Amino acid sequence: VVVALNYYTPYQHISDSNTGKVSRYAWGDDYHHVLGDKLRSLLAWIQEQSPDATSKVCVDIQPAMDKAWAVRAGLGWLGKHSNVITPEFGSWVFIGELLLNIELDYDVDEIEDHCGTCTLCIEACPTNAITEPYIVDSNKCISYGTIELRDHELPNEMANNLSGWFYGCDICQDVCPWNRFQQVTNEDRFRPREGNVDTNLDEVLQLTSQTYAERYRGSAMKRAKLFGLQRNARALTSDKL
């Protein structure tokens, strides 16, 4: 069973030299917990109907090909920016799965690719990370670099082209025409936490291990760890000198 959960909230970034932009997905509570809770509730309902059912709950961190399964399940198609685009919510969705031990009736119709000749996401990327349609070079991707990269400094080409992004990057999604049809999520836990739409860079640089743990408890932004967040803040502040 594959699900997609809308996380869009209608807030905009501010233009402020003292702050860095945060990717929309990390504004609220950690999606691993939110979507995981919903999948476990779904599993409980399935087990009421079929008591012998067991399942593995998958939300991003398990070795499951989330995007491939979402396309196979007919939830959307793979956009040229490599994110799954749904007709209802655009690409502002989290994907999760239940790996069940029982047979279910299932959908067989996939949604055709509706990107057409559009190349806005490719053209908008400041680091040219989308090297060709559907292919992203993670070594150039701001989102990967500011979240997953464990080096103590960002690559120079990336650091010089962050476009104000402190954690993650939404540029390729912001320009996507299919995201003009976005709907506001009804999940309150995705509402922005204070300081998570635009983060004060000086405050990040002053964090200690203890204040970091308190500040980002229950947030997906802990993924970058303290040294990663401070590295990103340094890159943005040095860019403004």
SS3 state at 32? helix
The mean pLDDT of the chain is 96
Mean local confidence (pLDDT), 20-41: 98
Q: How confident is the model at residue 217 (pLDDT cuts 50, 70, 90)?
A: very high
Give Dmax over CA atoms of the chain in angstroms.
Answer: 62
The catalytic site residues sit at 60
Whether 239 has a pLDDT exceeding 70, the answer reads: no
Euclidean distance between CA atoms 145 and 139, whole angstroms:
7
Mean predicted confidence (pLDDT) in 87-108:
95
Q: Domain residues for 154?
A: 2-239
Q: What is the gyration radius of the CA atoms in the chain, in angstroms?
A: 19
pTM: 0.94
Q: What is the pLDDT of residue 201?
A: 98
Report the b/e string of 115-153 with b at 16+ CB within 10 A. beebeebbebbbbebbeebeebeeebbbbbbbbebeeee
Q: Is residue 236 a contact partner of residue 217, using CB atoms and an 8 Å limit?
A: no
Residue 90 is classified by DSSP as B
- Count of domains observed in the chain: 1
pLDDT digits (tens, 9 = 90+) for 140-166: 999 999 999 999 999 999 999 999 999
Average of per-residue pLDDT across 167-177: 98
The identity of residue 136, as a single letter, is: V
What residue type is assigned to position 109 of the chain?
D
3-state DSSP assignment of residue 3: strand
Residue-level length of the chain: 241
Cβ pair 59, 220 in contact under 8 A: no
Dihedral (CA of 70, 76, 79, 81) sign: negative
**Pick from 60, 63, 123: nearest CA to 93:** 60
Q: Is the dihedral of CA 147, 151, 157, 161 positive or negative?
A: positive
3-state DSSP assignment of residue 199: strand
Give the integer Cα–Cα distance in Å for 224 and 178: 29
Band the pLDDT of 241: cuts 50, 70, 90: very low
